[in-house]
Amino acid sequence: MEIMDKKIIKEMERWIREIEQFFTQKPPEQIYVSVAVIALTFFVFLIVRLLKYSKSNTVVIAGLSGSGKTVLFYQLRDGSAHQGTVTSMEPNDDRFLLHSESEKKGKKNHVHVVDVPGHSRLRPKLDDFLPQSAGLVFVVDSLDFLPNCRAAAEYLYDILTKAAVVKKKIPVLILCNKTDKVTAHSKEFIKKQLEKEIEKLRVSRTAISTADITNEYTLGVPDEVFSFTQCRNKVLVGEASGLKGEISQLEQFIRNQIKA
C-alpha cells in the first residue's frame, strides 16, 4: 500500500513539474488566454451537466376541447371544479402544491401544471411547454368518446410522434375523464379504439411521400398492428371524474414524475 502511495505521489510531482515548465516557457499573454479557455470550458461543462440532470417539475395537460382539462387543472390546484368554466383560449399555467397534499405534514415539491387549449388553432402552444415537460396528460371525454374518437386519435398521434416527446421519452397518461357517468366508456374500450384509429393513421400516413409528412417520428413496428406498448415512451391509461374530484390516478401519475 505504501509503495502504491509513493508511486502516486511521484506521479503527481511529475505532473506539477510539467505544468510549471509549461507556464514558465510561455509568455504571460498566452498563459492568460490558456487559463481563460480552461475556465470557460469548465463553466460550459458545468452548465451542461446541471441542465442535463436537473429534473423538470412541469406536467402538461392536453386533449380535445370539452374533455374536461380545465376542471382537472382546478381540481389539482384548488380542490374545486370551478363550475361555469368555459373553453380556454389561453393556457392555464400555474405552479402550486397539489391540493390533496396541502394539509399533509412535511415538505412537498410544488408542481408546474399547464392546461393547453384543445382548439385546433391553439394546439401549437403545446410545443412551447413540451421541451421542459416531465409528463403529459392526454384527457379523453369517455362519455362522448365515439363521435370524437378519430379527432382524439389524430391529436394523440401528433403528440406521440413529436421529437420532444420521443427523444425525452416523456411519459404519457391517457386519462379517461367523466367515468362516473353510467354511459361512459371504460378505459379498456377507449384504449383499444384509440389503438385501432392510430393504426389506420399510421398506415395512411406511412403511404404518403416523406416530403408531405409533418410528423417528426413514426409510430409502431413494421408489419405489426399498432399498440401503445410499441411507443418509445411509456403510455399509461387511467380514469378520472373531474366534476366529482376523483383524480387520484392523475395525482399519482404526477407524483411518479415529480417526486414529493
Q: What angle do CA 115, 121, 124 make, to 5 degrees?
A: 60
Residue from 120, 137, 123 nearest 91 by CA: 123
pLDDT in tens, 76-118: 999 998 765 556 678 999 999 999 998 777 777 899 999 999 8
Q: Are residues 103 and 36 in the same domain?
A: no
Count the Cβ atoms, other than its own, within 10 Å of residue 243: 16
Note whether 125 and 93 are within 8 A (CB). no
Average pLDDT over residues 11-37: 66
pLDDT at 257 exceeding the cut of 80 = yes
Domain membership of residue 9 as a residue range: 1-51
Quote the cell numbers at residue 193: 379504439
Note whether 169 and 235 are within 8 A (CB). no
* pLDDT for position 71: 95
Q: Are residues 29 and 70 in the same domain?
A: no
**Which sign, positive or negative, has the C-alpha torsion 243, 248, 253, 258?**
positive
Name which residue leads in pLDDT, 228 or 15. 228
The CATH number linked to 245 is 3.40.50.300
The SS3 call for residue 239 is strand
How long a stretch of residues is the chain?
260
pLDDT in tens, 185-220: 999 999 999 999 999 999 888 766 444 455 568 898
What is the spatial distance between Cα 257 and Cα 260, in angstroms, rounded to a whole number? 10
Q: Are residues 74 and 126 in the same domain?
A: yes
Q: Are residues 192 and 207 in the same domain?
A: yes
Q: Are residues 100 and 23 in the same domain?
A: no
Residue from 254, 250, 139 nearest 194 by CA: 139
Provide the domain count of the chain.
2
